[in-house]
Structure 1
Amino acid sequence: MDLGKIQNLRLKKIENSRGILVDDDGNEALIDKEEIKDVKISEEVRTFIYNGHKGEIWATRKKPYIELGQLKKLKLSEKSKFGYFVDIGLDKDILLPFAESYGRLNLGKEYLLYLYHDRSDRLALTMNIKDKLKINDKFKVNDMVRGIIYSIGKPGYFVAVDNTYDAMIPKEEVKGLYVVGDEVEARVARILKNGFITLTLREKAYKQIDADADEILDLLRDNSGIIYLGDKSRPEEIKEITGLSKSAFKRALGKLYKKRLVELYDRKTVLNNGK
């Protein structure tokens, strides 16, 4: 009997409010009588097997959102002293232990989780999924992809692309506030020799200029038409204030200057009057 998987079992007998199912090796699982009203003794029933209370093994004909060995995005439903209970589409939720979670999690939010057997041979969930992801065998540089942030570390934001491939957005590439569980759309910037994907949230340079120029215009308008950044400003200053690299900043300024929207100085940029 495979705990955490959908499988066919035979109905052995019915006792009071529950039925007893059996596999070919004689292992038994309990099922609610209401779920087998249309089943005769010795008939096969397609069921999902899970842990009940007091060591009992239960079965259900309901289809869960996840099976053993799968990665799925699931919602946290409740917090306990042991961890978070997660809705998998059944009457019984499955535990995500604190030791298998990352950071501060929010009830009602969905996270990418993996279903496994814990040391007590009970079903449990984990956010520790890095070794469950594949190296790239599908994407090429400049492809646009979607993924879920599954962990955040010193190098950057680790992303499960298509819930399948391991990737990372370097920390310096990230503008705005992202947390574990957020979905992102990104471009493949590099593919290392080992197949690991590096992502960027930015478009290719020639496509990104317009967006960067609009951001600088908004910044100027929010600061009375002047920002103290220019051609001689240090890259660190530019990055801190605008989130852009110095080269991207200069490309965007060049576009604005050609349109006569700004005046440029060594260490400041001024919005033209009336713009």
Structure 2
Amino acid sequence: MDFIKLGDYNLMKVVKKVDFGMYLDGGDEGEVLLPQRYVPEGCKVGDELNVFIYLDNEERLVATTLTPLAKVGDFAFLNVAWVNEYGAFLNWGLMKDLFCPFREQKMKMETGKGYIVHVHLDSESYRIVASAKIERYFSNEQPEYRQGDEVSLLVWQKTDLGFKVIIDNKYPGLVYKDQIFKDIHTGDRMKGYIGTIRPDGKIDVTLQPTGRKMTTEFSEVLLQYMKEHDGVCRLTDKSPAEDIYKTFQVSKKNYKKAVGDLYKRRLISLFDDCIALTQDE
């Protein structure tokens, strides 16, 4: 291989078997140890393995087949395992904890608590470190999303307006509280949908599809629901938004749009206490 991606996954060939593991071809970096506890059953010299490369306690390259909670370049929600006079050490799913120096903490981290951090290579020490000052690591590229695009979200922090989120591991965004119909917490990962990209580049996000696509998709869900429930749904436009969300995980606004869509298509009839499939259905 040409070079090793530290703090990331690498496809590497097994070149030597020893009592305490396997050595992998690290190219210019030399051979890299995969300790015996991580060697897959049946592995032999000549096999190629997809391994995660990080530094052991003596700052030597080491391989693992474990999957860490984050890699270099990722934002993640990690818990503090322990703290010493130099900083905090975060549990990221590997034998050696991830270091977050005091200078990279917004507030003093406490053992047992979780924090949103960015994982990166320290330019001076070439160590993998974490930073809670995550704003400096967002992409400066202009987002090229369109309204309604599906994205992955990491919930960042609660504000008076709603929740700040990290979009696709690159951009900051905001979900307004009137768009939230379930309990969400810092560190939650979920799907979201692009709402509005403002002129200053800030992105508003929803937790449900928007526009005509949402109406069409949920209309079919509602139609199928009624077919499976004797042709009836007991929720109407007078029903509490909480009851609608509990049943369908959509907002009352989107529920009413879907009902209107089905009614215009003459697939349902409306009553005071329910909606029902037409006899043709």
Please classify the TM superposition score into its range, dividing by the shorter chain length.
Answer: 0.5 to 0.7
Amino acid at match of 2:268: V
1:256-275 alignment runs, 5 A limit: 256-265=262-271, 267-272=272-277
Q: What's the counterpart of residue 23 of structure 1?
A: none
Larger radius of gyration: 1
What amino acid is the match of 1:61?
L
For structure 2, the 5+ residue unaligned runs are 7-20, 33-52
**Partner amino acid, structure 2, of 1:248:** N
Question: After superposition, where does 1:45-194 map in structure 2 within 5 Å?
Answer: 58-62=58-62, 71-72=73-74, 79-80=81-82, 85-87=90-92, 91-95=95-99, 99-100=108-109, 113-115=118-120, 125-134=130-139, 137-142=142-147, 144-154=149-159, 155-194=161-200
Evaluate the alpha carbon distance shift between residue 177 and residue 245 of structure 1 in structure 2; reply closer, same or farther with a 3 A threshold: closer
Distance 2:61 2:92 in 1: 16
Say which SS state the counterpart of residue 62 (structure 1) adopts: strand
Question: Equivalents in 2 of 1:216, 1:168: separation in Å?
Answer: 29
Letter of the 1:227 counterpart: R
Counterpart Cα distance in 2 of 1:141 and 1:44: 43
Moved more, 220-229 or 149-158: 220-229
Distance 1:224 1:259, change over 3 A: closer
In the alignment, structure 1 segments of 5+ residues that lack a partner are 7-33, 53-57, 106-110
Do the aligned residues in 1 keep the contact of 2:269 with 2:278 (CA within 8 Å)? no
Count of paired positions:
216
Q: Quickly say closer, same or farther: Cα 1:165–1:262, change in 2 above 3 A.
A: same
Distance in 2, matches of 1:176 and 1:223, equals 28
Q: Provide the C-alpha distance between the structure 2 equivalents of 1:92 and 1:173, rounded to a whole number of angstroms.
A: 40
Show the counterpart of 1:213.
219
Q: Output the TM-score relative to the length of structure 2.
A: 0.53
So what's the TM-score if we normalise by structure 1? Answer: 0.54
1:225 aligns with 2:232: yes
Query: Of 242, 251, 260, which aligns to 1:240?
Result: 242
What is the CA distance between 1:153 and its match in structure 2? 0.9
Amino acid at match of 1:62: V
Q: Secondary structure at the match of 1:242?
A: helix
